[in-house]
Amino acid sequence: MQAIVTGCAGFIGSNLCDRLLAEGHEVIGIDSFTDYYPKHIKQANIDQALQHPRFRLINRNILELDWSELLDKSQVVFHQAAQAGVRSSWGSQFTEYTRNNIEATQLILEAAKKADHLQRLVIASTSSVYGDAETMPTPETACPKPVSPYGITKLAAERLASLYHKNFGVPVVMLRYFTVYGPRQRPEMAFSKFIRAISQQQPIELYGDGEQSRDFTFVSDVVEANLRAAFVPDIAGEIFNIGGGSRVTLRHAVEQIGAIIGHPVRYLKEEPQPGDARHTSADISKAQKILGYAPLVDLATGLSKQINLIRES
């Protein structure tokens, strides 16, 4: 099978590429290496893939590509590329979010209308579409109420995908990720920042009271969910929550990091940030039933893996 992975040099995309290559697939990776975080980190993410004879990198922006040609011989597209970050989606940068999250997705969907070989288009979405959900754990049927511009753009991309499926039969499946962590996590994400600070015995910035909770999901479980979404038959048009079954408070997670590293945690308290949901919790019963999805990595194990990789780098 030939697969396309957008955002192939990113956190999730690079892990997904490695898994696809290990399973014998041909992979076309697309990444424009935006300056959202340092380019050398992204390059390191795909070092392993670049050594593989079945991997081809296209270093271009999604909006500049001829998607009709790309989809001509590809069976599956994993659309992982996005402008990430809740807090930076406010203000003048919002145009980057509309361009990279909405316009880029629409361009792929438009080309997919005529792609005869395309069997599945897996689109990465996010728990941010729920905002401050009224039900915990939150099922896919809950009314989306994003509390950040980022969440708005990801919900818009979902809605576009659903329209293209309904009107043109595009075989989309959407995965709503819940707080993904693990090796290659972006440097500005919480666990990466906490691990660096605690390792250097520096205080960590804690926004709010630390009692906000998240359903933390290890990256290998997210990769497995993508593969299942690509190959399970008769699920086009569906949306699935992908969580890790590790909903804990942020303070509890930080203390676990400190215990694994072996240093006490010191806090620098900051005001809560606009756009941050208070709690997230995934009802994954639909993914369990239809995809056969089951998270395998608990929080303590996952944190140890991420910490060990940072120590080795």
Instruction: Please report the pLDDT score of residue 34 as a whole number.
Output: 87
Q: How confident is the model at residue 309 (pLDDT cuts 50, 70, 90)?
A: confident
Model confidence at 245: pLDDT above 90 = no
Count CB-CB contacts under 10 A for residue 295. Answer: 25
Q: How confident is the model at residue 177 (pLDDT cuts 50, 70, 90)?
A: very high
**Mean pLDDT across 259-273:** 92
Classify residue 35 by burial, with Cβ atoms within 10 Å: 0-12, 13-18, 19+: exposed
Query: Residue 302: in which H helix or E strand, if any?
Result: helix 299-312
Average per-residue pLDDT for the chain: 95
Q: Among residues 150, 177, 181, 293, which one is catalytic? A: 150
Strands 172-177 and 239-242: parallel
Alpha helices in 126-273 (DSSP H): 149-168, 190-199, 219-231, 250-261
**Mean pLDDT across 162-170:** 98
Q: Give the whole-angstrom CA distance, residue 185 versus residue 111.
A: 31
DSSP 8-state secondary structure symbol assigned to residue 137: S
Residue 183's region, left for phi above 0, alpha for psi from -120 to 50, else beta, is beta
What are the residues facing 56 on neighbouring strands?
28
Q: Give the whole-angstrom CA distance, residue 180 versus residue 242.
A: 9
Q: Give the whole-angstrom CA distance, residue 271 versus residue 16.
A: 35
Strands 247-249 and 213-215: antiparallel
Model confidence at 163: pLDDT above 90 = yes
Sequence spans of domains, the chain: 2-179+219-244+281-295
Q: Give the whole-angstrom CA distance, residue 297 versus residue 306.
A: 12
Model confidence at 84: pLDDT above 80 = yes
For domain 2-179+219-244+281-295, give the CATH number.
Answer: 3.40.50.720
Is residue 299 within 8 A of residue 246, CB to CB? The reply is: yes
Instruction: Please report the pLDDT score of residue 70 as a whole number.
Output: 95
Total-model pTM = 0.97
Q: Is 267 a catalytic residue?
A: no
What are the residues facing 214 on neighbouring strands?
248
Model confidence over 9-43: pLDDT tens digits? 999 999 999 999 999 999 999 999 988 888 999 99
The letter for the amino acid at 17 is C
User: pLDDT higher for 254 or 271?
Assistant: 254
Q: How confident is the model at residue 56 (pLDDT cuts 50, 70, 90)?
A: very high
Q: How confident is the model at residue 246 (pLDDT cuts 50, 70, 90)?
A: confident
Q: Give the whole-angstrom CA distance, residue 46 versus residue 61.
A: 17
The letter for the amino acid at 134 is E
Beta strands across the sheet bearing 55-58: 55-58, 26-30, 2-6, 76-79, 120-126, 172-177, 239-242
Chain centroid, CA 189 distance in Å: 12
Model confidence at 302: pLDDT above 90 = yes
Instruction: Please report the pLDDT score of residue 36 as a whole number.
Output: 82
